[in-house]
Amino acid sequence: MTIAENDGCDARREPQHDSSINRSPQLGATPGSAAANGGVLDGPRRVVKLGGSLLSDPQLPVRWDAWWRSQPRWDTLVVVGGGCWVDAVREADKLHSLGEEVSHWLAIDALRITARLAGQVLGLPVLRQIPPVRRHALAECEQETQCQVSILDPSTWLRDIEWRLPGRVLPHTWNVTTDSIAARLANVWRAQELVLCKSVSVVEPLPCATELVAQGVVDAEFPAASRSTIVRIVNLRQST
């Protein structure tokens, strides 16, 4: 289902377990760019947030493969949630009053573990930096014959690069999880869509982003971080 720009709540139904928030997509190519560049376009791109809780699912490789095979063949970057590793940091903050700044960076360090773990489980390469946007001949883009899918370990990018980039910089608080990190990445990489692969289904019709925050589906920063991005929410535990 779609929700209009600025978190409006006019919605229409989409297939079960795959919901979307549609907010003025940022495309990698502008009208007329193919002609201006000799029939060459920026390749279509997506960012996927893979929930850390999914790492405990013994069927994750099968579910991921089934979902991936059903998608358009676009270049894809995967950001993996922190799962129990970040939960441990959160609990330590409660017990020892670490503070949000310290806790934020400890949680980011934990993402290095989950990225490498997911890389092993899914058989995907793990990158430390955002790859450049690949360019394709128009015919190749239309046929979707080429794509690259990788997992991003976002720790270096967040420490050294993200805060220098245009747009809303992510705050160093518990309001930010990999939902918002993936949304920020999608904006920076000019991805055509952001897919949140989670362990829960969203009640239809899909509410606006601020209501998703109230339901605990996404983090508090997500409505701001995901502006100008098409978002889909998928319950990967129900993918076969």
Domain ranges of the chain: 18-23+40-238
Confidence of residue 146 (pLDDT cuts 50, 70, 90): low
Q: What is the mean pLDDT of residues 107-114?
A: 98
CA–CA distance, 236 with 197 (Å, rounded to integer): 6
Tokens of 14: 């989409």
Between 147 and 129, the more confident residue is: 129
DSSP 97: -
**pLDDT tens, position by position, 181-239:** 999 999 999 999 999 999 998 877 767 899 999 999 999 999 999 988 899 999 999 87
Residue 143 scores a pLDDT above 60: no
pTM, to two decimals: 0.83
CA–CA distance, 194 with 76 (Å, rounded to integer): 10
CA–CA distance, 209 with 226 (Å, rounded to integer): 9
Q: Which of 91-95, 105-109, 134-138 has the lowest mean pLDDT?
A: 134-138
Q: What is the mean pLDDT of residues 91-117?
A: 98
DSSP helix/strand/coil, 180:
helix
pLDDT of residue 102: 98
**Percent of the chain clearing pLDDT 90 (strictly above):** 67
Torsion of CA 37, 78, 225, 41, to 10 degrees: 10
Q: What is the mean pLDDT of residues 60-67?
A: 96
Q: Which of 68-72, 170-174, 182-186 has the lowest mean pLDDT?
A: 68-72
pLDDT of residue 2: 32
Specify the CATH number of the domain 18-23+40-238: 3.40.1160.10
pLDDT, averaged across the chain: 83
Contact 83, 49 (CB under 8 A): no
